């Protein structure tokens, strides 16, 4: 999953002010949200120089406190102020970059703007809920929950009532299956042994990470526990070892997160290439084993972005779902194609009386900003799941639900 580090540049966007205002100290360690956020909005000029005193004070406050619920609510309010004042998206992105560079490099911040800003600006301009409700969803436990009626919706439950029956414990002599679960491979095709593993970017161990300050700062041959993802040789060796050591695997559960963590620098095509390459690796390693995949949050570009049917065509997610359908067809029955292309979920009978249901958990991911516009059962997945479970119960099937 992605960290909150990426939220800071979008929610700390400074509103336009009027000439003549004085700059106030920005100390959010003892923040009175109702009064102090208003003072901040009124006290910050429309165009900020990264070297200005107010930016320095904000930087110190952010680093001292971290990304809190208070900062989130202030940022959302500020964004709405400047939106009402008519700033262009380009002007907003300029302010995003100023605040992004409080924590990250200019190169990374340019990528943040290129990859994330258009969608985030589009979404937050159209959200009708309050700042508290928005941050309650984005921040989760860090904020007190604020009821949001727009996220209340109804689903239909089957009218069938079946008496509860106590489950029977499996007998010791019952035959068991060996199942392999693989997740979060995060294969990085640009990993380079000896590259700087301790750079200032969110992801290192690449030629672009610069020279290591010392031999110990260099990336290892098989990977590195610092800010690095998985080199190809490690993925290859892992799959080969599993294949040789466990020839009796009945089937594989593969629960996503394939691309590396360079989220500021990804394109749709790069993520699709990573998907194709990793699927090819899995197919080569396990040619005769059934694989049941699930979608991770990193497969999309931008990360965590899984638009609902309310998104305009330029933002739709079918570029990913169509490719998933092509790649997953080698393992799934033809009947699964419809729901994979609709929402990257499916149901499959593995063997008599045993079914696997793979769900797309990104439609309940609190970092999926598209849910702020409308979260009503995206792709009708929950209603579909209810119907699938009822059908399985009617057929006396056991069900294993998988997801990222």
User: What are the angstrom distances between the C-alpha of 241 and each of 118, 187, 238, 244, 247?
Assistant: 43, 17, 5, 5, 10
Q: What is the pLDDT of residue 142?
A: 73
Report the predicted TM-score, pTM, of the whole model to 2 decimal places.
0.83
Of 2-16, 163-177, 220-234, 312-326, the least confident? 2-16
With cut-offs at 50, 70 and 90, classify the pLDDT of residue 143: confident
Share the mean pLDDT of the chain: 84
| Of the candidates 281, 325, 313, 319, the residue with the CA atom closest to the CA atom of residue 300 | 319
Flag whether pLDDT at 313 surpasses 60. Answer: yes
| Entry field: residues in the chain | 404
With cut-offs at 50, 70 and 90, classify the pLDDT of residue 16: very low
Residue 261 and residue 298: Cα distance in Å, rounded?
Answer: 8
Flag whether pLDDT at 396 surpasses 80. Answer: yes
Residue 302 and residue 116: Cα distance in Å, rounded?
Answer: 6
Domains of the chain: 4-148 (no CATH), 179-191+229-402 (3.60.21.10), 192-228 (no CATH)
User: What are the angstrom distances between the C-alpha of 120 and each of 4, 6, 10, 126, 127?
Assistant: 14, 11, 7, 10, 11
Tokens (6 digits) for 374? 């409308």
| Of the candidates 95, 21, 82, the residue with the CA atom closest to the CA atom of residue 55 | 95
User: In percent, how much of the chain has pLDDT > 90?
Assistant: 58
Residue pointed to by tokens 């964004």: 79
Flag whether pLDDT at 286 surpasses 90. Answer: yes
- Contact predicate 4/103, CB 8 Å: no
Q: What is the pLDDT of residue 51?
A: 56
Strands, sheet with 398-402, edge to edge from the N-terminal-most edge strand: 346-351, 354-358, 398-402
Cα torsion through 150, 152, 153, 155, rounded to 10: 160
């Amino acid at each position: 999953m992605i960290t909150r580090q990426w939220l800071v540049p979008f929610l700390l966007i400074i509103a336009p002010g009027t000439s003549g205002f004085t700059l106030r100290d920005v100390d959010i360690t003892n923040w009175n949200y109702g009064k102090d956020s208003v003072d901040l909005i009124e006290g910050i000029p429309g165009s900020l120089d990264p070297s200005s005193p107010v930016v320095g004070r904000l930087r110190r406050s952010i680093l001292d406190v971290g990304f809190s619920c208070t900062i989130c609510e202030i940022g959302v309010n500020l964004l709405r102020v400047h939106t009402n004042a008519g700033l262009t998206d380009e002007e907003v992105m300029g302010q995003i970059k100023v605040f992004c560079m409080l924590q990250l490099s200019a190169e990374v911040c340019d990528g943040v703007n290129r990859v994330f800003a258009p969608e985030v600006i589009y979404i937050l301009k159209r959200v009708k809920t309050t700042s508290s409700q928005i941050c309650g969803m984005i921040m989760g436990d860090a904020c007190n929950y604020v009821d949001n009626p727009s996220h209340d919706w109804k689903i239909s439950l089957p009218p069938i009532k079946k008496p509860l029956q106590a489950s029977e414990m499996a007998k010791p002599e019952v035959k068991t299956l060996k199942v392999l679960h693989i997740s979060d491979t995060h294969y990085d095709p640009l990993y380079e042994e000896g590259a700087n593993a301790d750079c200032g970017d969110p992801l290192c161990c690449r030629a672009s990470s610069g020279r290591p300050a010392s031999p110990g700062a260099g990336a290892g041959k098989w990977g590195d526990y610092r800010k690095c993802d998985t080199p190809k040789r490690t993925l290859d060796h892992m799959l080969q070892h599993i294949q040789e050591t466990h020839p009796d695997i009945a089937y594989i559960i593969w629960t996503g997160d394939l691309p590396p963590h360079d989220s500021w620098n990804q394109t749709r095509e790069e993520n699709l290439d990573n998907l194709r390459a990793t699927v090819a690796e899995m197919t080569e390693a396990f040619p005769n084993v059934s694989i049941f995949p699930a979608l991770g949050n990193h497969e999309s570009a931008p990360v965590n972005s899984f638009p609902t049917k309310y998104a305009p065509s330029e933002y739709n997610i079918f570029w990913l779902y169509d490719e998933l359908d092509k790649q997953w067809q080698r393992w799934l029955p033809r009947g699964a194609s419809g729901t994979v292309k609709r929402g990257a979920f499916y149901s499959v009978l593995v063997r008599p009386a045993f079914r696997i249901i793979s769900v797309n958990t990104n439609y309940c991911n609190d970092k999926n900003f598209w849910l702020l516009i409308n979260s009503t059962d995206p792709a009708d997945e929950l209603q579909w799941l209810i119907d699938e479970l009822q059908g399985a119960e009617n057929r006396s099937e056991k069900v294993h639900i998988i997801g990222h």
